[in-house]
Every structure is written in C-alpha cells, then in structure tokens.
Amino acid sequence: MQKKFVIIDNDQLLNDLIEEQVSIVFEKNFNIKFLKTNNINSLNLLDTIDLIIINFKFIKDNHNILINLANEKKSNIIVIFDDHIDRSQFKKFNNLSFVVKPFRLKQIIDIMQDFFISFETNQKNINITRDLIFRPETKTLLNKNKIINLTEKESRLLNFILENKENVLKKDEILINVWGITERINTHTLETHIYSLKKKIDAFEYHHPFICSDNSGGYYFNKLM
C-alpha cells in the first residue's frame, strides 16, 4: 500500500532533491505532494497524509494547525525544518523529529526509512516458526521461553529478508534497502550484521540455519521444513 506524505516548504530545490532520493530509495511506496507554506489553511487538507515534512516558519504562523495535528492525528510523523530559530517555545512538540538546515539528505532519508519500517510493521508479529516470533516494532525475537533484543539495523535486516523470503537477495540490494543508498559503508558491514543476526536466532536452539547464502554471495531465508 502506498504511503502519502506532503512537504510544506517554499524551497523548490529542496523539494526536487528529496523527491529524487525518495524515488531511488522507496521506489513507488510513497506518493509525494508539495505545498507552499501559504497554501495550507485547514487541517482537513492534511486529513489523509501519513507523513508531513513541514517548514518551521509555517509553524510560527499556524500554531493551531500543528497543535491539532499533534493532538488529533497522533499516527502522523511530522518532521520540522528549523532554520536555526529558537525552538524553546515549542517544547510541547519535543516528540517530533527535527532536522536543522543546512542538513545532509541522508538525515531526512533515515527519518523516512524509520517511518517506512514503522508503518509496515506497526504492531505486527512475524512468525519465523510456529513459536518463534519477530516483532519489528519492538525489535525483538521471542518464543515462550526467551526474548532477545535486536539492534535497529539487525531488525531492519531481518524484516527485509523476511519480506523477500521467496527471493535470493544480492548484497547491493540489501545495502540499498536496509542502510540507504546515500550511506557509505565498508564492505564487511553486511557480513558482520548477518553473523550477529544469525547468532541471535541460533540462541533459540532450533539447530536450523534460517539465513543462508548462496554461491554468488546472495542471502535468502531458509524455511524450517
């Protein structure tokens, strides 16, 4: 299902850059709409939006809209672009994600990726076996006897492998979708996380290799028969 988000900002270059990166990283999973700050005067216009990226200057002039969004639309994630303005008066919104101009595009893509993972896995249990459960939202593996916490990257990695469990996933494909295309990482990062993830799954003592690699270096989910 497509996620819809809106960017409320007057910087067309910024909008174009975000749109380009979103199309690369998320392909068709997002539907983007751009609005100028003077084109929003009603909460109803944002009624069906999943993610809002909003300019800080708009907040200064539209307190009530933001308060309503924060109070009534708690499922929305709002990212504020702050042009080095004092934010102390907006402590009531300290649960929101802030990025400060100038910022690297990777910052906003990372926030969007976190939203993407949360949206897809909210309150979802993924059964690896009949009794071994992966909970992406809380980053945990558990059965009736044990609970093991995963790191953020381990959780993203396992979620991506399970979502594509019918396929052999190439290294570049995993790096793009789990780490983000704009991030520079060393060649051993994926292998290290695969090893750590497999070790945590092995702690449940199923004596079955759930994550395997093929001769070409791809990874796949090995179902328990």
CATH number, residue 136 = 1.10.10.10
Residue-range definition of the domain harbouring residue 131: 124-221
Round to whole Å and give the CA distance between 133 and 121.
Answer: 13
Q: Are residues 107 and 148 in the same domain?
A: no
> Does the pLDDT of residue 67 top 70, yes or no?
no
User: Stretch 84-109: mean pLDDT, rounded?
Assistant: 72
CB contact set of 123 (below 8 Å; sequence gap of 6+): 137
Round to whole Å and give the CA distance between 3 and 115.
Answer: 10
Q: What is the pTM of this model?
A: 0.49
More confident residue, 144 or 202: 202
> Does the pLDDT of residue 96 top 80, yes or no?
no
Q: Are residues 129 and 23 in the same domain?
A: no
Q: Are residues 141 and 116 in the same domain?
A: no
Confidence of residue 25 (pLDDT cuts 50, 70, 90): confident
Q: Are residues 18 and 113 in the same domain?
A: yes
175 and 190 Cβ atoms separated by less than 8 Å: yes
Convert the pLDDT of each residue in 156-204 to its tens digit. 899 999 989 888 998 888 888 888 755 556 668 889 999 999 999 999 9
